[in-house]
A = this chain, B = another copy of it.
Amino acid sequence: MSLGSSDSSTGPHEWSSTEVRVRYAETDQMGLVYYANYLVWFEVGRAEYCRQRGLVYRDFERDAQTYLAVAEVQCRYHTPARYDDVLIIRTRVESFRKRLISFQYEIVKKESENLIAEGKTLHVVLNKNGRPTTFPAEYTHYFVDSRASQG
């Protein structure tokens, strides 16, 4: 399984943080957040990770005609999240290669700092026809840490 791989060319990188507040829509009749919604928060985390490094993912898709499709996801649920909780989504690139990018996530409850969930996603780079391609070179610097590249 590629998610555990550590032979990346660069990474792991620095964490970014963003917040979400749990919506009523995201709960289920168990009174907790339904488990699929954590993957939506991972997506929010990825977008904010990119934004905090200067890349608007929406513009990347439009300008580069390139897509990061999810090939694999893994999530461990620790403490349940509940309606109206404010959660901090911590995100970083775990490994960045030409054809495969993996992100790592930690979701923490803001008030208690309890770990809610952690996970990983593995992404393949696709062109506008849905074919695997390599990550466009002119965008690579957004994903390569200055710290890491000095190493």
Mask of A32-50 contacts with B, CB within 8 angstroms, 1/0: 1011110110011001000
Q: Once the chains bind, are B39 and A24 in contact (CB under 8 Å)?
A: no
Give the Cβ gap from A134 to chain B, nearest Cβ, in Å: 19
- Tell me the A13-44 residues at the B interface (CB within 8 Å): 23-25, 27-32, 34-37, 39-40, 43-44
Count class of interface residues, chain A: 35 or more
Q: Select from chain B the residue with minimum beta-carbon distance to A126.
A: B30
- Within 8 Å of chain B (Cβ to Cβ): is A64? no
CA distance in complex: A109, B125 (Å):
23
- Contact residues of A: prevailing secondary structure: mixed
- Within 8 Å of chain B (Cβ to Cβ): is A53? no
User: Please, which residues of chain B bring their CB within 8 A of the CB of A139?
Assistant: none
User: Please, which residues of chain B bring their CB within 8 A of the CB of A148?
Assistant: none
Q: Select from chain B the residue with minimum beta-carbon distance to A72.
A: B76
CA distance in complex: A27, B130 (Å):
15
Of B31, B39, B58, which contacts A84 at CB under 8 A?
Answer: B58
Given contacts A36-B43, A58-B83, 4 further A-B contacts (CB under 8 A): A25-B40, A28-B28, A29-B30, A36-B39
